[in-house]
Structure 1
Amino acid sequence: MYLDSQGIRIRRFWRVLRRVPISALLGMVVILIYLFLAVFGGLIAPYAESAIVGDQYAPWTAQHLFGTDQLGRDMLSRLIFGARNSIGIALATTVLSFSIGGGLGLLAALLGGWIDQLTSRLIDVLMAIPQLIFALMLLSIFGSSAVNLVIIIAILDSTRVYRLTRAVAMNIVLMDYVEAARLQGERILWITTREILPNILPPLVAEFGLRFCFVFLTISSLSFLGLGIQPPTADWGSMVRENATLINYGDITPLLPALAISVLTVAVNFVVDWLLHKSSGLKE
């Protein structure tokens, strides 16, 4: 009986997988490869993250497939370790951003009144300031540690999550089944987790992918400007800045971390587009 149920689940999985468009499948494969590198990068990389293993700006050879950087560190190893650092920090920031913005958005939609007005006006003030400039200012004041980077970007990015969560939750709060749960004396946490959250999950999942892309690009931009992930930690944004001088000599090595950023961003957007299309209910 157990084997039969497992077989049914497997057949259903393959049936769903066959309906997924090629672009989304390609995006999923790329994301899985990046996640594999992020988790097992320490076992795959030929050299340590900060080890100086050759001359400065050494050319591509069999020993150093992508050459070395300005200090003589292996570029391939730095790229692999950069996956762990860049993706890990971006993912942690996005999760914290959704926890803050999503929680406040649900609370504002459910309680309304002065709580809704106060949080909405505060969010309007934060959104009126350009995010990158505000992040640069705050990081200059509090320092560019990884913890500060995650907290500051998460708070700034949570404003977008708040607006979306509040907007979709407001439509659900007015439904009869939510009002019935209130009249039955159910607690706010129960109503939120059982009645509201399951009905707004599809757009939030799609938004999570988009927010991850924006956070990922923001952190890379800050690292390129010198206020993101600090050396000697490998990060794709800072790797572009550190090796940018090679472009003057026709060397494409600085473009490799930029390409890694672009490929991951496009792959996530492929999957997000499919999720948005699937949640919309459209057949074509």
Structure 2
Amino acid sequence: MKTVTKFLTTTPATALFGISVLILFLLVGIFTPVIAPYGETEIAGDQYEVWSETFLLGTDNLGRDILSRLMYGTRNTVGIALLTTCITFLIGTFFGMISAALGRLVDQVMCRIIDVLMAIPSLISALLLLTILGTSIPVLVGVISLLEATRVFRLARSVSMNVIVQDYVEVARLRGESIWYVLVKEVLPNILAPLAAEFGLRFCYVFLFISALSFLGLGIQPPTADWGSMVRENAALISFGDITPLLPAFAIALLTISVNYIVDWFLHKASGLKN
């Protein structure tokens, strides 16, 4: 109890707000099948019904309950974004550390490949690849993971280069330790703080990336609920002064702001600053 009280009194209000919102979204995503009034693809009423006791947020262009679709969208959009971010970091961190550790020719080749991938805007690359390969969820996750891993690679390589030259790493090498031991035991623990902060920021970028692709019709495909596609499907209501299409946009903005608050707090804690 004392630990909880100390946490609540020492944590900034912005961080508490971000943590609360993130927990709320996670709970909604986990328990959506239990708490959602209707099914994800269930046509429960007429098209574009107004807000009422039956449909708290009205219905969409096909008569599906907006509130239920928002709940299922939490599970789909956030879940896929989290999975994509995890794969992104596995790829980017692994190759970033390998590049820093091996150096010379390997480092030069890998950096030039990353430069080529980063030279083309991510959205254009994603649109091109998804048009060629298809828009299934595995392809979507793979394409975004590959494109976003280039950013993680640059960070992981940069911070690993600073650790590789330290004396304790040289001692481990002189002991005859393998490259994998050096990377896992000596390098990785010392670069976790910047990587953890980057994970939060990269999650926001991936989350917004998926929403943008869905809005353009190349992300998560119907009838799967997704916040980006929900904005596109109900955009016609804006012309009539209905704010329903803005609800998924508000959810996207709220989650992005909340994660950034948490990342800012984490960076402040990791820096060791008191104020």
Q: 2:51 maps to what in 1? A: 60
Can you list the C-alpha shifts for 1:63-119, whole angstroms capped at 9, x where unaligned?
100000000000000000000000011001100100111100011111112111111
Matches of 2:32 and 2:138, distance apart in 1: 22
The one-letter code of the counterpart of 1:73 is: R
Matches of 1:269 and 1:139, distance apart in 2: 29
Cα root mean square deviation, aligned: 1.1
Matches of 2:38 and 2:181, distance apart in 1: 51
1:45 to 36, 41, 44: 36
TM superposition shift of 1:16: 4.3
Q: 1:141 maps to what in 2? A: 132
**Matched residues, percent identical?**
59
Matches of 1:34 and 1:84, distance apart in 2: 8
Q: Which runs of 5+ in 1 are unaligned?
A: 1-9
Following superposition of structure 1 onto structure 2, how do residues 1-284 of structure 1 map, counting pairs within 5 Å?
11-12=2-3, 14-284=5-275
Change (3 A) 1:17 1:190: farther
TM-score (norm 1): 0.95
Matches of 1:192 and 1:159, distance apart in 2: 19
SS at match of 1:121: helix
TM superposition shift of 1:278: 1.6
TM superposition shift of 1:283: 2.0
- The aligned length equals 275
Matches of 1:41 and 1:283, distance apart in 2: 40
SS at match of 1:262: helix
Matches of 1:205 and 1:13, distance apart in 2: 23
TM-score (norm 2): 0.98
Q: Which runs of 5+ in 2 are unaligned?
A: none
